[in-house]
Amino acid sequence: MQSISQSSLPPGFSLCPSLKPPHKTLTFHQIAVLIITFLAYASFHASRKPPSIVKSVLGPTTSNSSLAESNSSSLDAGWAPFNGTEGTQRLGELDLAFLSAYAFGMYFAGHAGDRINLRLFLVFGMVGSGVLTVVFGLGYWLDIHWLAFFVGVQILCGLFQSIGWPCVVAVVGNWSGKSKRGLIMGVWTSHTSVGNIVGSVLASAVLEFGWGWSFVLPGFLIILVAVLVFLFLVVSPEEMGYELPGKEIEMNENTNGVETAEKGESEETVLLGTEDSVSSTAIGFLEAWRLPGVAPFAFCLFFSKLVAYTFLYWLPFYIRHTAVAGVHLSHKTAGILSTVFDIGGVLGGIVAGFVSDQIEARAVTSVMFLLLSIPALILYRVYGSISMATNIALMFISGSLVNGPYALITTAVAADLGTQDTIKGNSRALATVTAIIDGTGSVGAALGPLLAGYISTRGWNSVFFMLIVSISFAALFLIRLAKIEIEEKLYGRTLVPQQSTASN
């Protein structure tokens, strides 16, 4: 082990010296990093959920008499400027403002994340996101009906939110290796669905007291978690004094680790693989785009995230305005029921990661989930309104299949591509590659909710048709890579796509 640099450690280690080596093992710190980053990004998504929960409150009232009669309340009056005849379009534009800024900021956040302190950068993004989420909610008490105010807050919030993903993936990538990466990342990436669930429950629980509370509570939650990150998140093993030149750390099931008795060390060092050389130079943006596999997965994620975020932002609204067993649900019930989609997403992410590890084929796994999600969405649209049990079952299956490849690509695939042999173990490329993949996906995420806002005025069948077409395109972008993986399994050859064709 190297000597620990006290100045590089988070301040929480000064308050709790027992957390430092040799009191705690490397495996302990690996698990701690996974837990802290899990909570960090779950809080990001929790603070991102309120707009979808309050849509049915802010938006235009429906002309459906049964809905008006069964759930009449002050919440159904809407909120200017979103309750007019073009209310759903305005709500879609609000989503566009946030997600466009998020996608734009993602590219720069990843580039910056490779160059500055990830812990402080992450805390900066979390606090900014929390403050702006609260500010949006203050519009309720300040009686603000100015569209520019809400759009402006969402743009700034999107920029701060874009900091989160490149940072947490880069930190986890520093602490985990490729072995069992899909399963580990599948479990870890459930933070997205867990955050959505927490945000939905919080926002729905206080909605009856005024929609402003639906923003204030998640806003304070992410600020609280930011304090935890500031105090205890260790960005890399080197900060703890572990000597890991040219190696990746594996989250190995072998808890005994590898003893280094020759050096007189008793610390547990669970290491994986070696490289001839390691570069600490940050990779260029265009150079990262040309890495094998980056472009196909990035464009696949464009369409996958378009679908996932359409559900994220519009599912509670859809449930509220679609009768289940002939009954229209309340705002609160619709918001809580929508969490079933995210619960399914937790399972989908874990299963996708496990399967991709077992067959060692990320593209094949993603294509399989994408193709299965098409009939699942058709069934949910056609039969989801028959009964509550049918709605829950089909929503759960749809969530599993839609979020499976989305979770796999944004985590294990991004980490694989950011640490591949082509860049000879460049440890500073991961945040850039992650930002490119998720940033491209975020452009689709911005487009999906906007299109849903406009297309929904023509009927929800049109929205589901858009989602199915998007899934089909997502699968098409991975067909070539899936074919390469299959041929490699059948013929035992390593067929890596050339850099010149990776961006096609």
Can you give the pLDDT at residue 342?
93
- Do 74 and 57 form a contact (C-beta atoms < 8 A)? no
pLDDT at 277: 40
Q: Which helix (H) or strand (E) holds 271?
A: strand 271-272
Task: Tell me the HSE value of 225 on the side-chain side, using a 13 A CA sphere.
Answer: 26
Q: Specify the pLDDT at position 247.
A: 44
Measure the CA–CA gap between 485 and 408, rounded to whole angstroms. Answer: 16
pLDDT of residue 63: 46
Q: What's the pLDDT at 414?
A: 62
The pLDDT assigned to 493 comes to 55
Cβ atoms within 10 Å, residue 169: 29
Residue 479 CB partners (closer than 8 Å, separation 6+): 367
Amino acid 248: pLDDT: 43
Neighbours of 72 (CB within 10 A): 11
Q: What's the confidence (pLDDT) of residue 259?
A: 38
Omega of the bond prior to 22 within 30 degrees of 0, cis? yes
Name the residue with tokens 């679908």. Answer: 307
> Distance between CA 444 and CA 253 in Å, rounded?
37
Cβ atoms of 171 and 249 within 8 Å: the answer is: no
CA terminus-to-terminus distance, the chain: 45
CB distance 371 to 475 below 8 Å: yes
DSSP 249: E
- Cα angle at 441 between 87 and 94, to 5 degrees? 20
Cα–Cα distance for residue pair 236/172, rounded to 1 Å: 9
**Radius of gyration for the chain, computed over Cα atoms and rounded to the nearest angstrom:** 23
Picking from 198, 241, 253, 234, the residue whose alpha carbon sits closest to that of residue 50 is 198
Give DSSP secondary structure letters for 257-268: -B--GGGT--S-
Q: Does residue 336 contact residue 197 with C-beta atoms inside 8 Å?
A: no
Tens digits of pLDDT across the chain (504 residues): 555 555 578 999 888 888 887 788 888 888 999 999 999 999 999 999 999 999 989 987 654 444 444 444 555 578 999 988 888 889 988 999 998 998 888 878 877 776 788 999 999 999 999 999 999 999 999 999 999 999 999 999 999 999 998 899 888 878 875 555 666 777 888 898 899 999 999 999 999 999 999 999 999 999 999 999 999 999 988 888 765 444 443 333 333 333 333 443 333 333 333 333 444 455 667 777 877 778 888 899 999 999 999 998 999 999 998 999 999 999 899 999 999 999 999 999 889 888 988 888 888 999 999 999 999 999 999 999 999 999 999 999 999 999 988 888 876 666 666 555 555 555 556 667 777 887 788 889 889 998 998 898 899 999 999 999 999 999 999 999 899 889 888 886 554 444 433 333
Q: What pLDDT sits at residue 22? A: 76
pLDDT at 370: 96
- As given in the structure block, the two tokens for residue 50 are 């309120």
The pLDDT of residue 433: 75
At a CB cut-off of 8 Å and minimum separation 6, what does 470 contact? 303, 304, 306, 307, 444, 448
Within 8 A by CB and 6+ apart from 81, the residues are 90, 145, 146, 147
The closest alpha carbon to 58, from 112, 1, 137, belongs to 137
| Exposure of 486 in the CB half-sphere (CA atoms within 13 A) | 11
Q: How far apart are CA 329 and CA 435, in angstroms?
A: 39
- Overall pTM > 0.85: no
pLDDT at 3: 52
Name residue 248's beta-bridge partners: 272
Characterise 183 by phi-psi region: left (phi > 0), alpha (psi -120 to 50), beta (else).
Answer: alpha
Closest CA to 103 of 414, 443, 410: 443
Which residues are bridge partners to 15 per DSSP?
none
User: So what's the pLDDT on residue 107?
Assistant: 75
The predicted pLDDT at position 418 comes to: 56
Question: What would the two tokens of residue 106 be?
Answer: 């993602």
pLDDT for residue 490: 84
